[in-house]
Homo-oligomer: A and B are copies of this chain.
Amino acid sequence: MLKIPRIIKARPLDQELGFGKHLTTSGRMMNPDGTFNVERQPLSRWDNTYFHLVSMSWGRFLLVILLCYLSLNLLFSLVYLGIGLNQLEGLQPGGFWDNLYGVYFFSTQTLTTVGYGSVHPIGWGANLVAALESFTGLLAFALITGMLYGRFSRSTAKVVFSPNLLISPYRTGTGLMLRMANARKSELIETEVKVLLTMNQTDESGNLTRRFFALPLEISKISFFTLSWTVVHAIDENSPLWGFSSQDLLEANAEIMVLVQGVDEANQQTVHTRRSYTGDEVVFNARFKPVVGRNTKGLPMVLMQQIGAYETLH
């Protein structure tokens, strides 16, 4: 049974976020890693192949490439077997597996353009297939080169966020705080952050609806994001979170979305990243522990593993 959420007086956002107003699911809209809980049926099977290949993990990518190499090679091997071993000088015909073994490695030598020459084609058919295979091989490696560079140049910011939002003492009251740092070696400059709150509210007719609020921040843009950054929303009377308890957040199915944008100096491009927090990831009455230490040269060092470290207050 849905509890009636706390009524608040803060004004919801006019600007649409693109989620619609009627989507009051019990789950979250945005996953912690910033992807959305929405599926878009692809138009065709090949539609997103390039996107998948450049966004999957390196291990998986190399495995996919290796499997393609081995299967493509097998395919050509079967064609050579069909044409007959008498068109490949240097191979002695034998049983099926012996023949396959022979043509398979001739095929790898052709596909990779090694071409030792100890086995080589002597008939029309085998020569034609070998010509196409070496061409295919070069084309495939041109494709792989393109995809590798595509993987390198995907300019995604890698910002590490604290796993929790804290409600900490701030000035004379409290503030909602999150901490983040740039995990890349290249600098992020002109970095901006926006924090959005979405939760269930009853509208003027008393019906439950989904509302969105922008949470004003103490500092929302910095020139150099070289140290860690503690983003602070002061919870004063104008805040939509004013007077909220942990229970209120859960009952309203609250979700807090953090949107970060900056210029990555490695390639001078504007990059975007984001993170989402649900009500159970908000810790009340806690404070972040220091995250900046000193390295062996005495320079400030951001301790990435400590980004979320906090202590509770009594």
Contact = CB atoms under 8 A, between A and B. Distances in A.
Interface of A: 15-20, 23, 25, 27, 36-43, 47-48, 50-52, 54-55, 62, 65-66, 69, 73, 89, 101, 105, 108-110, 112-118, 120-122, 124, 127-128, 130-131, 134-135, 137-139, 141-156, 160, 181-187, 189, 191, 219, 221-227, 229, 259, 263, 265-272, 295, 299-305
A142 B145 contact: yes
Given A15-B223, A36-B224, A146-B152, A268 B263 contact: no
Given A36-B226, A54-B266, 4 more contacts: A18-B224, A20-B227, A27-B299, A48-B185
Given A89-B118, A115-B117, A18 B134 contact: no
A302 B39 contact: yes
Contacts of A20: 227
11 contacts: A19-B226, A39-B295, A39-B300, A40-B183, A47-B184, A89-B118, A109-B131, A113-B115, A114-B134, A145-B146, A268-B269
Contact of A18 (B156, B223, B259): B223
Contact of A184 (B39, B48, B131, B138): B48
Contacts of A17: 222-224
Nearest to A25: B300
A147 B152 contact: yes
B40 A224 contact: no
A65 B121 CA distance: 24
B155 A268 contact: yes
Contact of A38 (B18, B146, B227): B227
Contacts of A149: 145-146, 149-150
A36 B185 CA distance: 11
B134 A15 contact: no
Contacts of A268: 155-156, 269-272
A65 B19 contact: no
Given A48-B185, A184-B48, A142 B144 contact: yes
Contact of A266 (B118, B142, B154): B154
A269 B65 CA distance: 27
A43 B121 contact: no
Contact of A114 (B43, B115, B147, B184): B115
B41 A305 contact: yes
Contact of A301 (B40, B127, B221): B40
